[in-house]
Structure 1
Amino acid sequence: MIWFLEGQSSQRDVIAGARAALPERIQIVASHRQSRPEITGLADLALREPQDNEARIAWVIDTARAHGVKVVLAGRVGHVYEAHRADFERAGLVLVTGALSLDTFERVDDKSVFTREASAAGLACIPAITVHTQAELESAYAQLSRDGQVCVKPTRGIYGQGFWRVSEDVDPFRSFANADSHEVNLNVFAQAYGQSEQPKPLLVMPYMPGSECSVDMVCEAGKAVAFVGRRKQGLMQTFERDSDAVELALRAAEHFGCDGIVNVQTRDDASGQPHLLEINLRYSGGIGYTRETGVNLPGIFATRRLNLPQPLGAWRDDVQVKAITVAVSVRGEELLR
Structure 2
Amino acid sequence: MDVRIWFNRIWPARVHLIPMLRDNPDHARVQVYGTHPDPAAPALTACDVVEPEPGEDEAFFDFAIDFCQRHDIDVIMPSSRLVALADRAEAFSAVDTRVMCAPAETLRAVTDKSRMYAAAERSRVPVAPWRAVSDADGLRKAVQEFAGTDSALCVKPAGEYSAYGFRLLDDSPLKVSDFERLPRPTASVSAVADALQHAQDRGETVPELIVMPYLDPPEVSVDCLSDTAGTLVSAIARAKSGRVRTLVDDPDVMELARLAVGHFRLAYLSNVQFRYWKGQPVLLEVNARAAAGIYQTRMTGVNLVWAAVRMLLCGDPGEVPRPMLGGRLAVVEDAIPLSDTVIPDSRARERTPPPSPVGAPEANRTLSP
The 3 A distance-change label for structure 1 pair 309 and 252 is closer
C-alpha deviation, 1:114, in angstroms:
1.0
Q: Select the residue among 312, 315, 322 that pairs with 2:323.
A: 315
Name structure 1 gaps, 5 residues minimum: none
1:104 matched residue in structure 2: 106
Distance 1:156 1:333 in 2: 33
Distance in 2 of aligned mates of 1:161 and 1:134: 20
1:188-241: CA deviations, max 9, x gaps?
332333223433221111222232111112222112222211111233111124
- Residues 1:65 and 2:61 aligned together: no
* Greater Cα offset, 312-321 or 222-231: 312-321
Give the letter for the 2:19 counterpart: A
Verify the 8 A CA contact 2:301 2:324 in the aligned structure 1: yes
Match of 1:140 among 109, 123, 142: 142
Question: Normalised by the size of structure 1, how large is the TM-score?
Answer: 0.87
2:300 aligned with 1:284: no
> Aligned to 1:10, what secondary structure does the other structure show?
helix
Please say which of residues 52-61 and 197-206 is displaced more in the overlay.
Answer: 52-61
Q: 2:195 aligns with which of 192, 204, 207?
A: 192
CA contact (8 A) 1:145 1:206 kept: no
Task: Tell which deviates more after alignment, 151-160 or 106-115.
Answer: 151-160
User: How many corresponding residue pairs?
Assistant: 332
Cα pair 2:100 2:312 within 8 Å, conserved: no
3-state DSSP of counterpart to 2:286: strand
Query: Where do 1:131-170 residues align within 5 Å?
Result: 131-149=133-151, 150-168=153-171, 170=172
Q: What letter corresponds to residue 117 of structure 1 in structure 2?
A: A
| Secondary structure in structure 1 of the residue aligned to 2:192 | helix
Relative to structure 1, the CA distance from residue 335 to residue 66 in structure 2 (aligned partners, 3 Å threshold; closer, same or farther) is closer
Deviates more, 1:287-296 or 1:188-197: 188-197
Query: 1:146-177, CA deviations, whole angstroms, 9 ceiling, x for partnerless residues?
Result: 11222211111333122222244x22689x97
Distance 1:142 1:105, change over 3 A: same
C-alpha change, 1:202 and 1:25, in structure 2 (3 Å) is closer
Q: Distance in 2 between matches of 1:107 and 1:124?
A: 17
Specify the code of the residue in structure 1 equivalent to 2:246.
T
Q: Distance in 2 between matches of 1:18 and 1:187?
A: 48
Cα gap change, 1:30/1:17 in structure 2, threshold over 3 Å: closer, same or farther?
same
CA gap of 1:30–1:126, structure 2 versus 1, over 3 A, is farther
Distance 2:89 2:341 in 1: 35
Aligned residue in 1 for 2:333: 325
Which shifted more, 136-145 or 24-33? 24-33
Per-residue deviation, 1:77: 1.4
Match of 2:122 in 1: 120
Aligned to 2:264: 256
Contact 1:30 1:43 in 2 (8 A): yes
Which residue of structure 2 lines up, in the alignment, with residue 301 of structure 1?
Answer: 308
2:224 match: 217
2:99 pairs with 1:95: yes
CA–CA separation in structure 2 for the residues paired with 1:167 and 1:68: 53
**1:311 offset after TM fit, Å?**
6.2
Structure 2, unpaired ranges of 5+: 346-369
Residue pair 2:268, 2:311 contacting (<8 A) in 1 also:
no
**Deviations 1:3-34, CA, capped at 9 Å, x for gaps:** 23224322111222111106555332321213
Larger Rg belongs to: 2
Equivalent residue number for residue 43 of structure 2: 39
Which deviates more, 182-191 or 137-146? Answer: 182-191
The DSSP-based 3-state class of the residue aligned with 1:21 is: coil
Of 241, 247, 259, the residue aligned with 1:233 is: 241
Write the letter of the residue equivalent to 1:135.
D
* SS across alignment from 2:23: helix
Alpha-carbon deviation of 1:119? 0.4
Aligned position for 2:251: 243
Counterpart contact for 1:263–1:281, Cα < 8 Å: yes
* Equivalent position amino acid for 1:266 in 2: F
Partners of 1:4 and 1:313 lie apart in 2 by: 26
